[in-house]
Amino acid sequence: MAQTALDRFTGWFRYWRLPLRRFLSERRAIAAADIEDVAQEVFLRVLRYGRSEFVENPQAYLFRIATNVAAEWSMRSSRRLPHDSNWLSDLAAESNPESEIDLDIEDDQLARAVQGLTPRAREIIRLHYSDGLTHKVIAERLNISRRIIKRDLICAYTALRSALGHRL
C-alpha cells in the first residue's frame, strides 16, 4: 500500500503524537511517584488486549490506554486535588495540538540538564525540536550521519531521564 508523505505525517501524528499529548495533559494529575503504578495498570491492560490486536498500532494503543488510566487515576484523586482542572488542559490539547503542555518541570532544572549535554546534541535538539528540521536535513547541515543524530538524541534522552529522574 503506497502512502504519500502527507498520509505518513498525519499517520504518525494521529497514531502516536495526539495520543501522547492527551496522555501528557492527563498526566498532570498524577504525582511522579505514581507513574510506576500507572505503568503497572497500563501493562496489565496491554496484555488483556492480546498481541495481534495490540501489534496493529502499539504506539497509539499504549498512549491511549495510558490516557485512560491517567484519567481514572486523576478522578480517583480529584477529591484531594479539587482545583486541578485537567479537563481544561485536555481540551487545550485537543483543540490546539501545537500548544505547549506544561509539565511542571522547573526550567532551571531542565536548563542544567540540557547544558550538560554536548554542544552537538544541543544543536541537534535546537534544530529538530525548535526549528522543526528533519533528521535528514540536520545530518546534511551538520555534516554528520543520521545514525549519529539518533545516537545523540538517545543520549540526550537518557541524560535528561537521569537528571530529572524524581520529577518524571
Partner 1 sequence: MSTEDERRVRAAEDAAAWLIHMESSAMSDEERAKFADWIRESPMHVAEMLRAGLIHQALTNYARRGLIEPIDKASVPNVTELTPPKNHRRSGAGLLSPGRWVPLTASLVCIAVIAGLLLSRSAPISVSTQAGERRELSLPDGSAMTIAPNSRLLIAFSRSDRLILLERGQVLFRVAKDPKRPFVVDTGGARTRDVGTTFSVERGQEGIVVTVVDGRVDVRPENAGNHFDVQGEGRTPSVSLGQDEQVTISGAGMAEPVRKVSSRNEVSWAQGQLVFDNTRVSDIAQRFNQYNSIQIRVTDPSLATRLITGVFREDDPRSFAEFLQSEAGAAVTLSSNGEIVIGASNSKILESSAPQTTR
Query: With binding defined as CB under 8 A, does residue 68 bind partner 1?
Result: no
Residue 143 and residue 124: Cα distance in Å, rounded? 12
Torsion angle (degrees, nearest 10) of CA 95, 100, 103, 108:
-170
Closest CA relative to residue 135, chosen from 117, 153, 118? 153
Pick the binder of partner 1 from 84, 92, 123, 133 (CB under 8 A).
123
Pick the binder of partner 1 from 31, 120, 137, 140 (CB under 8 A).
120
Footprint (CB under 8 A) of partner 1, residues 6-35: 8, 11-12, 16, 20-21, 23-24, 27, 35
Footprint (CB under 8 A) of partner 1, residues 70-99: none
Instruction: Name the one range near partner 1 by CB under 8 A: 73-81, 82-90, 110-118.
Output: 110-118
Query: With binding defined as CB under 8 A, does residue 108 bind partner 1?
Result: no
Pick the binder of partner 1 from 29, 66, 73, 74 (CB under 8 A).
66
Instruction: Name the one range near partner 1 by CB under 8 A: 36-44, 73-81, 84-92.
Output: 36-44
Q: What is the DSSP string of 88-125?
A: HHHHHHHH-TTS-------HHHHHHHHHTS-HHHHHHH
CB 68 within 8 A of CB 27: no
Dig out the grid coordinates for 152 from the structure.
Answer: 545523540
